[in-house]
Chain A
Amino acid sequence: MAPLVTPILTWTPDQPLIRMRDVHKTFGQRTILNGISLDVMKGEVICIIGPSGAGKSTLLRCINALEPIARGSILVAGQEVHDDKLDKLALRRKVGMVFQQYNLFPHKTALENIMMAPIHVLKRDRAEVEARARALMRKVRLDGKEDFYPGELSGGQQQRVAIARSLAMQPDVMLFDEVTAALDPETVKEVLVAIRELAQDGMTCVIVTHEMGFAREVAHQIYFTDRGVVVEHGPPAEFFTQCRDERTRQFLNQIL
C-alpha cells in the first residue's frame, strides 16, 4: 500500500488527533500487531490494557515512529507516520513519551533533564525554559528537588521528572508506557496522581497500564488488546461491567 501523504493543514479539531487504521507490525516471523485500528480525539484519555505480549508497548512506540510499521496507516494530527518522507523530529516534538524505566539522563540534574530538549531542540530562550521547568517541577510536586541527580531520587520521583521533561516540550499528546510497572508500590500513587491531573487539564493521553482501578477512573475509552488486535473497547463503565468477549472476561477475572 502506498503511503498516504497527507498535508498537516487538513487536520481540524473535530477529527481524531491520532487515527490508526489496520496497523500491522512484525518482528521477523512474529506478528506483533495484526490490524490495529483506533481513534483518539483531542483531550481524550485512552487506556490500553491486555496481557503481556499483546503488543501494547509496540503499538505506543509506533505512534512516535520509534518503531516502523509494516502496513496500515497512523495519522497524528493529520500527519502520516507511515511515510518514508516523514519528518520524525517534527512528529516527536508533538508527541511526548514516558517510559517504564524513566530513562532520565543520569549526568544531568532533574532541572537540566527538563530543560535540555526545549533549549537544544526547540531553540527556546534559556531563561524562559528555566522558568517553565521550575513550574513543571512544582506541578509534579518536586519543588526543592531541582538540583538533585536522578540517582538521588526515588523511582516515583524520577518518573515524575520524566513526565515533566516530556511536558516541557509542550506536546499535543502524551504516551505512557507502563510507567508504574517498575515502581515500588508506595510510589505508584504519586505518579498516577500526576498523570490524572494532567488528564484533567485536558492533555490527550494514551496510557498503557496494568493499573485497572486507575484506568477505570481516568480513561474515556478502554481498549483491550490481545495477540496484536483490539478485542474490544468502550467507556470504562460499560467495559468493566458488561464486556462481551470471552478473552476480555478471562483477563479481567485474572487481574481484578
Chain B
Amino acid sequence: MSTSPADLAVLKPFRLPAASRASTALPINAYHGVMLVAALMLSAGVGEAQAGAGAPSIIATIVKWTPLLAQGFALNIAMSFLAMALGTVFGVALGLGQISLRSPIRAGAWAVTQFFRNSPWLVLLFYCMLLLPFEVRIGNSIVPLPGWVKATVGLALPVMANVSELVRGAVQSIPFGQWEASEALAFTRSQTLRMVILPQCVKRMTPPWMNLYAILTVATPLTSVVGVSEAMTLTGDILSSEGRNELLVPMYLYLLLWFFAYCYPIALATTALEQRFQVR
C-alpha cells in the first residue's frame, strides 16, 4: 500500500507515568510487632520487680487468663465479620445510589453516606444501643437482640458509608472510554455496570476494602464502652478480679499484641495486592 507511516503526521502514543500512590494499608510492620513484644517483656519484668517475692509471676497470670481473653477476642472477630458483611451489602447499594442517573436518589445516597462517614463511630454506636429494641418480633416468635448484635449494627453504619464512597470512587475512576465503548456496542446502562464497570471496580476496591476491615477490627473494642463482653471488657474484668496494679500495663499490651497479630497479616496482604494490581 502506498501509505508509508514515516511520511505522515502521526501522534506518538502518550502514556502517563505509573503513579506511585501511597499504600492504603494500615502503617504497621514487623518492627512494630517486635517492639510490642519487647515492651510486653519489659513491663512484665518491671511488674515482677514491683510485686516482690511471693506473688505469682506475671507471665503465668497472663497465660492463665489467655483462654478467657481468646473467647472475648472471638467475639471481636465475629462482630467485625458481621459488621463488614452488613456494611458491604448496604454500602454497595448506597454507592450505586450515588452514581444513579436520578438526581433525588443520587442526592439521598450522598447525604446518607456523608452523614455516616463523618459521624464519630462511638456516637453511632451509642445511638444503635439506645434506639434499637432489645428484642424484635418476627411473625409469632420473639427474637432477642443482645447488646453485641446492636453494637455490630452500630459498627456496620460507618463501614457502609465508607464502602459507599469506595464504590463511587472506583466507578468514577474507570476511564470514560469504557462507558462509551459499551454504549456503542448497544449495552444498556445496567449491562454496562454489571459486565464492564463493576468487575473492574472489584479489583481496584479490594485493597482499600481490606484496609477498612482492619480499621473496623481495631475499632471493635469501642463496644466495651457500651457493655459488650469482648476482649477489652474482659481484660478490665480480669484486672479487677486480680486486683494487682503491676498487671495493668502488661495485660493491655498483651491485648494489643492480639490485635496486632490479627491485623498484621491483613496489612501485608493489602500491600501485596496493591503492588500486584499496580503492575498490570
User: A: which residues have CB within 8 A of B?
Assistant: 64, 66, 88-90, 92-93, 95-97, 99, 101, 103-107, 116-117, 120-121, 151, 155, 162, 165-166, 169, 180-186, 188-189, 192-193, 196, 210-214, 216-217, 255
The answer to whether B195 and A196 touch across the interface, beta carbons within 8 angstroms, is no
A182–B14 contact, CB under 8 A?
Answer: yes
Please list 7 pairs of residues, one from A and one from B, whose beta carbons are closer than 8 Å in the complex, sorted by A's number: A92-B184, A92-B185, A162-B181, A182-B11, A188-B5, A193-B1, A217-B1
- The answer to whether B180 touches A105, judged by C-beta atoms less than 8 angstroms apart, is no
B7: chain A residues at CB < 8 Å are 213
Could you tell me the distance between the alpha carbons of A88 and B185 in the complex, rounded to whole angstroms? 11
B13 and A189: CB pair below 8 A?
A: no
Which of B44-52, B158-166, B196-204 interfaces with chain A? B196-204
* CB proximity of B34 to chain A, nearest CB, Å: 39
Pairwise interchain contact A117-B186, C-beta atoms closer than 8 A = yes
Residues of the A chain whose Cβ atoms lie less than 8 Å from the Cβ of B191: 120-121
Q: How many angstroms between the C-alpha atoms of A206 and B278 in the bound complex?
A: 37
Known contacts A116-B195, A120-B191: does B186 contact A66 (CB below 8 Å)?
Answer: no
Asked if B237 CB lies within 8 Å of chain A CBs, one says: no
- Within the complex, the shortest CB–CB distance from B15 to chain A, in Å, comes to 10
| A residues in contact with B1, CB < 8 Å | 189, 192-193, 196, 213-214, 217
Name the one of A121, A186, A213 contacting B187, with C-beta atoms under 8 angstroms. Answer: A121
Q: Which residues of A contact B13 (CB under 8 A)?
A: 155, 182-184
Distance between Cα atoms of A196 and B1 in the complex (Å): 10
Given contact pairs A105-B178, A120-B191, A196-B1, A188 touches B10 in the complex (Cβ within 8 A): yes
**Do B183 and A66 have beta carbons less than 8 Å apart?**
yes
Which residues of the partner chain B approach A211 to less than 8 Å between Cβ atoms? 3, 8, 10
Q: How far is the CA of A188 from the CA of B3 in the complex (A)?
A: 10
B185 near A107 with CB under 8 A, answer no
B22 contacts partner chain A, Cβ-Cβ < 8 Å:
no
A75 to chain B, nearest CB (A): 19
Residues in B with CB closer than 8 Å to A116 are 185, 195
How far, in whole Å, are A92 and B180 apart by their CA atoms in the complex? 12
Of chain B, the residue at the smallest CB distance from A210 is B9
Check B102 for interface membership: any CB of A closer than 8 A.
no
Q: Given the known A-B contacts A66-B183, A117-B186, A155-B13, are A213 and B280 also in contact in the complex, defined by CB atoms under 8 Å?
A: no
Separation in Å of the B239 CB from the closest CB of chain A? 52
Q: Is A165 in contact with B185, judged by CB distance below 8 angstroms?
A: yes
A120 surroundings in chain B (CB, below 8 A):
187, 191, 195
Q: Which of B75-120 contact A (CB under 8 A)?
A: none
Q: Is the CB of B3 within 8 A of A213?
A: yes
How many chain B residues touch A (CB < 8 A): the figure is: 32
| Residues of the B chain whose Cβ atoms lie less than 8 Å from the Cβ of A189 | 1, 3, 5
User: In the complex, A106→B200 CA distance in Å?
Assistant: 8
* Other 4 A-B pairs with CB < 8 A, given A189-B5, A210-B8, A210-B10: A99-B184, A184-B13, A213-B2, A217-B1
Pair A93/B186 contact, Cβ less than 8 Å:
yes
User: Quick check: is B4 within 8 A (CB to CB) of the other chain?
Assistant: yes
Complex Cα gap A139–B184 (Å): 22
Contact of B8 among A88, A92, A212 (CB under 8 A): A212
- Chain B residues with CB under 8 Å of A180's CB are 10
CA distance A162 to B178 in the complex (A): 12
Residues of B within 8 A of A155 (CB): 13
Q: Are B199 and A107 in contact (CB under 8 A)?
A: yes
The distance from the CB of A190 to the nearest CB of chain B, in whole angstroms, is 10
- Least CB distance from B184 to A in Å reads 4
Q: Are B9 and A117 in contact (CB under 8 A)?
A: no
List the 3 closest A-B pairs by CB distance, nearest first: A103-B181, A213-B3, A103-B177
Given known A-B contacts A121-B187, A217-B3, A99 and B181 have beta carbons under 8 A apart: yes
- Residues of B232-271 whose CB lies within 8 A of A: none
Q: Which residues of A contact B185 (CB under 8 A)?
A: 92, 116-117, 121, 165-166, 169
Contact of A105 (CB < 8 Å), options: B181, B184, B188: B181
CB distance from B110 to the nearest CB of A (A): 25
Closest to A117 in B: B185
B21 adjacent to chain A (CB < 8 Å)? no
- A184 surroundings in chain B (CB, below 8 A): 12-13
The CB with the most chain A CB atoms within 10 A, among B3, B196, B200, is that of B3
B6 within 8 A of A: yes
B183 contacts which of A92, A107, A212 (Cβ < 8 Å)?
A: A92
Q: Are B184 and A186 interface neighbours, CB within 8 A?
A: no
State in angstroms the CA–CA spacing of A117 and B181 once bound together. Answer: 11
Q: B178 contacts which chain A residues (CB < 8 A)? A: 103, 105
Kindly provide the distance from the CB of A214 to the nearest chain B CB, expressed in whole angstroms: 5
Q: How far is the CA of A120 from the CA of B185 in the complex (A)?
A: 10
